[in-house]
Structure 1
Amino acid sequence: MTALPVFRRTLAESWRSLIGWGLGVVAALADLLPPVTRWAGASAGAFMCLAHVSGRRELAYAAILEAAVRDRGVFEPRRLLRGERPFPHGEQVRGFLEIVLAGDGFARVRSGSPVHILMSCVDGARGVWPRVAVALASMHRRGVTGRVHGPARPVAGLRARVVCSHDAADPGELRDWVLMSGAVPPVMPVLRQTGTRYFDGALIDNAPVRALPDAARGGRVLVILSSPYPVPARPRPLPGGGQALYLAPRGPLPITNLDCAAPEKVIAARALGERDGRSFRGRVAAFLASSTDP
């Protein structure tokens, strides 16, 4: 299979919902899937891709459960008293990435199937926040109307940047790329490099198939969403000549990104993913049997 991108729908339904539900789906489909030659995602999707390629998805899952037990909630006033950000998300994600990339994890990522990471960029110092506000509103409308993908051309003032895991110089650079691809103020800190601010890739595309190289979009692409979009049951053609099969939860997930201190909801999301994954097996098997990679 040319690619297995892992994506999600909204900012609130990102890390815990995707990692819980998405891991369950992939586990239920694992024996059907051929080797994945390319991965793609943004924010939590990029993290999940790296967790798979590094072989540390279960360690990452365990770390997320541990954080859910340890942390008190989405907003912690006591952190303000210590001069820290009141939102624990950025610190948590850094910790999750350290687990995935520690030891030989980074070497595994560099030698494994490439992960393409989409981020949104705003250049310059003037007019940044109005442009980001417009992009956030556009993303919200897509979620409300059930549109999976963003427009072919990003909203004015935003541009897309795609980086590849194989090009990272060291674990720190790859970690920063994932953080840049998921930055949503004030919950997640915004990173800046040489006058450019980086934001969540979902501002460009909720399901960034566009992050894949042209050749990959000419093959079979399995798109895993983490929110109950009304997706077609049959594969859809891609601009590159390939086919994409979309999988999404069959109903609401039991967790959102606001549930920072609810390990039982992470476990429930994974169990739901396993059940949904079993229900997808027939569609996935037919998709793999009816299409080939270039």
Structure 2
Amino acid sequence: MRFKCRGKKMKDFKSVVFSGGGSRCMWQVGFWQSVSPELKLKPEIVAGVSAGAAMAGMIMAGTAETGLTLIKEATAANKKNFYISNFLKKEPVFPHYEIYRNTVLKTMDAGALKRFKKGPEIRVLFANPPAYLGALSGTFVGLMSYVIEKHTMHPVHPKMASKLGYKPTVVKLNECSSAEDIADVIMCSSCTPPFLPIMRYNGKISLDGGIIDNVPVSAIGEDEKKGKMLVLMSRIHRADRIPQTSNRLYLQPSSTPEISKWDYTNPAGLQAAYDLGRKDGDNFVKQYRRGDFKK
């Protein structure tokens, strides 16, 4: 696909946004690894949600390639996405939480934490249910509102959950003091039962932030005024649903990544999503250098 934008040079992108999308978010890693060193991307603020937050964290920590290797190894060893026999053993039926959390923990070593302190501000979005709903009902209503809106209205930025009273929480990874803290924040941002258990942050039920904004430009807020925003999505959206704004450049895969968002049995699919990102990134760089992105 051809990427189109009216705007300034890549160095003027002050913020970068990583959308959610589970395993498909590996496309974002491949794209970034191709584009960033070539075009010298140095954002001041990075925002992510769900798996996009994990990808953003690993990229800014300098451990993205390690993360790809680790998640491929873990998914190669995992044979199923659902272990029904574990009901009787009182063990997790879904393997996702353990694989996901362990991958994050292993990529956030002491060096990564130091790079966080020196790098851009990394904001992670998650959602809190309204007070009138309990843990189970809040989870059910929030997830169903997202699914219904996604499949009927096809928005890039959903609105239904916010109208129902769900509130955003934004946490900065740079302020986390340990790998465990970072993993907790990312798990909260990714909390999509039954794949992940219901999570709490500071005592509040915390759900996948994609319920509120799966392409979390809202986490940038007023800082969007500082400069242009690069928005990396993880799936193909209808052209008429992508917002038309001169201050943002929305980019999406050139084709559908060959893996579903909660498939934790498919290392080849993860690699394919990454490779697609590299290819799309290479094409993007060529177009930029041709002058396609200059006024």
> Among 54, 72, 76, which residue is 1:65 paired with?
72
Using the alignment, how far apart are the partners of 1:97 and 1:207 within structure 2?
21
Give the structure 1 partner of residue 15 of structure 2.
Answer: 3
Q: TM-score, normalised by structure 1?
A: 0.85
| Cα pair 2:23 2:262 within 8 Å, conserved | no
**Equivalent residue number for residue 23 of structure 1:** 29
The one-letter amino acid paired with 1:88 is: P
1:141–1:234: structure 2 CA closer, same or farther, 3 Å change rule? Answer: closer
Counterpart of 2:222 in structure 1 is: 214
Structural RMSD (CA): 2.6
Query: 1: CA distance between counterparts of 2:117 and 2:167?
Result: 26
Residues 287 and 80 (structure 1 numbering): CA distance in 2 closer, same or farther, change over 3 Å?
A: farther
Indicate which of 202, 214, 218 corresponds to 2:210.
202
TM score, norm. by length of structure 2: 0.85
Q: Retained in 2: the 8 A contact 1:120–1:198?
A: yes
CA distance in 2, matches of 1:288, 1:39: 22
Q: Provide the residue aligned with 2:273 in structure 1.
A: 269
- CA deviation after TM superposition for structure 1 residue 289, in Å: 4.5
- Structure 2 partner of 1:257: 261
Cα deviation for residue 210 of structure 1 reads: 0.7
In 2: Cα distance, 1:110 partner to 1:288 partner: 32
Q: Does 1:109 align with 2:116?
A: yes
Which residue in the other structure is 1:40 paired with?
47
Overall identity of the aligned pairs, in %: 25
- Relative distance call for 1:39 and 1:288 in structure 2 (3 A) is farther
Deviations 1:1-23 (A, max 9, x none): 21111113xxxxx332112x112
In structure 2, runs of 5+ residues without a counterpart are 1-12
User: Where does structure 1 lack aligned partners over 5 or more consecutive residues?
Assistant: 9-13
Deviation at 1:161, TM superposition (A): 0.6
Change over 3 Å in CA distance of 1:115–1:259 after alignment to 2: same
Query: Which residue identity is paired with 2:268?
Result: E
- The counterpart of 2:187, out of the listed 160, 179, 204, is 179
Counterparts of 1:135 and 1:233 in 2: how far apart (Å)?
22
Q: Report if aligned partners of 2:48, 2:56 keep a CA contact under 8 Å in 1.
A: yes
Classify the secondary structure of the residue corresponding to 2:15: coil
Q: Which range is displaced more, 65-74 or 149-158?
A: 149-158
Distance 1:115 1:202 in 2: 16
Q: Is the 8 A contact 1:16 1:266 kept in 2?
A: yes
Q: Tell me, what secondary structure is at the counterpart of 2:24? A: helix
Look up the equivalent residue of 2:264 and give its one-letter code: C
Indicate conservation of the 8 Å contact 2:156/2:242, yes or no.
no
Once superposed, which parts of structure 1, at least 4 consecutive aligned residues long, lie more than 6 Å away?
A: 232-235
Instruction: Say whether 1:160 aligns with 2:172.
Output: no
Following TM superposition, by how much is the alpha carbon of 1:262 offset from its aligned partner in structure 2, in angstroms? Answer: 1.5
For 1:178, give the aligned amino acid.
I
Does the aligned pair in 2 maintain the 1:231–1:247 contact within 8 Å? no
Q: Deviations over 1:108-150 (max 9, x none)?
A: 2232211100000125584444444333233224433331012
Q: 1:223 matched to which residue of 2?
A: 231
Between Structure 1 and Structure 2, how many residues are aligned?
A: 280
Question: Separation in 2 of the partners of 1:63 and 1:15?
Answer: 15
